[in-house]
Structure 1
Amino acid sequence: MKRRVVLAGGSGFLGQALADHLKRRGYTAVILTRGSSADKNGITYVHWDGRTLEDSWVREIDGSYAIVNFTGKSVNCLYTKKNREEIIASRMDSISILMEAVRKSSSPPQAFVQAGSLAIFGDTADVCDEDAAHGDGFSVSVCQQWEEAFFSETLPKTRQVMLRIGFALGKDGGALGPLQMLARYGLGGTIGSGRQYISWLHMDDLNAMFMESIENENYEGIYNATGTEPVTNKQFMGVLRKVMNKGWAPPAPTALVKLGAYTIMKADPSLALTGRNCIPKKLLDQGFKFKYTNLEAALRDLI
């Protein structure tokens, strides 16, 4: 019988990529979704609301090999009071209810992997490993509450792994898509000061990190899930234009980025104007081997 991995909130870009990867590796992938229950392309989708125990999805947890939790309202929005509350609640509620489901399992999963964020370090050019100081602001507070909730209790038969995910580069969506579109229309210049760091990684490496977290019993605790060579926004956009065979493009000054974020993108401008210079120290210490450490090579593979 195939091992089953449950991807809570896994219907987004990262979850779908991991589900397809699991399928290729011979696993059964089950995605817990706010949509309808269905079977599509060899993946089982089971409805849940992210906060209520229901037999339909709880039975998928019992006897599963691992859980990976992607649940959380997207931060790609305006930080209104309502959106802030939903961003926090969606993360806290899903962790709480999944913990309860694991505790009630007669055969609990051996690993619970939580998708987190490097945003915990705030906006900084300082090199950040897992033990670096946290930043300040709303995004940092969300990440701190997220991590505290995940590690608030120990599950006796289940390893707990938190991956603080960086700027994941993949095909047909995700973080790379909007930047490709800007470059395609001659707008792929430096964003803001251009000095903000992008801690990027290729989707193949991210999926490999998930697999190590799921399968390797030595993985436990918090990891920076990012590549080894962060770059500034100016460097990133320059390499992207090169790969896409685009010439010079005008920079987008900070004031223009803020105006566009609020009026067109309907998102907080800090998402584009802040960055962090993070390294995956713990992954490297445990012998993780990266497939992509060069940004140009990674982008050429994807574009």
Structure 2
Amino acid sequence: MEKKIILAAGTGFLGKSLAHFLVNKGYQVIILTRGKSKVEGEMKYVQWDGIHLGEWAKEIDGSYALVNFTGKSVNCIYTKANREEIISSRLDSVKILREAINKCKTPPQVFVQAGSLAIFGDTTAVCDETAPHGTGFSVEVCQKWEKEYFKESLPATRQVLLRIGFALGRDGGALEPLTKLAKLNLGGTVGAGKQYISWLHIDDLNEMFLQAIENDTYEGVYNATGPNPVTNKEFMRVLRSVLNKGWTPPAPTPFVWLGAYLFMKTEPSLALTGRNCLPKKLQQEGFTFQYHNLETALKDLI
């Protein structure tokens, strides 16, 4: 019988990629979704609301692993209502999934939580897992999120939290809008360009999830990012090169603020801040990266 893996809120960019990756590895994948329950191809979708226990909880009992992607997208303007939903969607899902696990007769052997490197704030200092946290709303979200996740230990279930970096993939995700801008000859340096992008290829990220699921030495917090972060200036230069685009004028900080609020309908800090993170614990575990070089990764994806 196939081992069953539950992906909570697995309908987003990262969740879809991991779902197909796991199916190809021979796992049965169940996706918890706010949409209707259905079977589509090799995927089974089960409705849940991310807040209350329901029939969906039966899927977790007897499953091999649970991976949680739940959380309102931070790609929005940080109004009071959006801030509240960004926090509550993350904390509520962790609480109810933990409750479901505690009610299982046969609990999953691992609970993997998708987190964020944003906990380090805006810094050019090198950040491994032990680096000090930053300040600001995004940091506050991550701190509350991680505190809730590790609030209680689960006797029969390992807990692994992956602080995910700037994941580069096909057909969506963080790379898509930057590629569109570059193709329109708008792919210049953003702001000062000194902010770091801690990038990783989606294939490496999927392998990190697989290791967290299958390898019982994985436990605690990991920086899920590549080994070679670059500045925004360097990232945009390499992206233009891969797309055969020449030099493009930079986007000064005031223009980024204006464009973010008026046209992108998102928070400008997402483009103007960054962090220089390294996957120290993954490297100590012996994780092998398929993509070390940004140009090689972008050529593969574009």
**Which bin holds the TM-score, normalised by the shorter protein?**
over 0.9
Counterpart in the other structure of 1:265: 264
Matches within 5 A, 1:52-71: 52-55=52-55, 57-71=56-70
Query: Percent same amino acid among aligned pairs?
Result: 67
Instruction: Report the alpha carbon displacement of residue 238 of structure 1 after superposing the two structures with TM.
Output: 0.3
Aligned residues: 302
Is 1:128 matched with 2:127?
yes
**TM-score, normalised with respect to structure 1:** 0.99
In the other structure, the counterpart of 2:89 is: 90
Structure 2: state its 5+ residue gaps.
Answer: none
SS in 2 for 1:31: strand
Give, in whole Å, the separation in 1 of the partners of 2:229 and 2:9: 28
For 1:41 and 1:144, locate their aligned partners in 2 and report how far apart those are by CA, in whole Å: 38
1:274 equivalenced with 2:285 (yes/no): no
Task: Work out the CA distance in 2 between the residues paired with 1:80 and 1:301.
Answer: 37
Q: Secondary structure at the match of 1:74?
A: coil
Is 2:196 aligned against 1:173?
A: no
> Displacement of 1:266 after TM fit?
1.0
Residue in 2 aligned with 1:140?
Answer: 139
- Unaligned 5+ runs, structure 1: none
Deviation track 1:126-155 (CA, whole Å, cap 9, x = no partner) reads 000000000000000000000000000000
AA aligned opposite 2:4: R
Q: Deviations over 1:14-64 (max 9, x none)?
A: 000000000000001111001111111211111100001002x11110000
For 1:4 and 1:274, the matched residues in 2 are separated by: 38
1:235-274 equivalence runs, <5 A: 235-274=234-273
Q: Residue deviations 1:209-236, cap 9 Å, x none? A: 0000000000000000000000000000
Q: How does 1:1-303 map to 2 (within 5 A)?
A: 1-55=1-55, 57-303=56-302
Give secondary structure in 1 for the equivalent of 2:172.
coil
Q: Which runs of 4+ in 1 moved over 3 A?
A: none
**CA RMSD in angstroms, aligned pairs only:** 0.4
Deviation at 1:254, TM superposition (A): 0.3
TM-score of the superposition, structure 2-length normalised? 1.00
Give, in whole Å, the separation in 1 of the partners of 2:157 and 2:82. 32
Q: Secondary structure at the match of 1:147?
A: helix
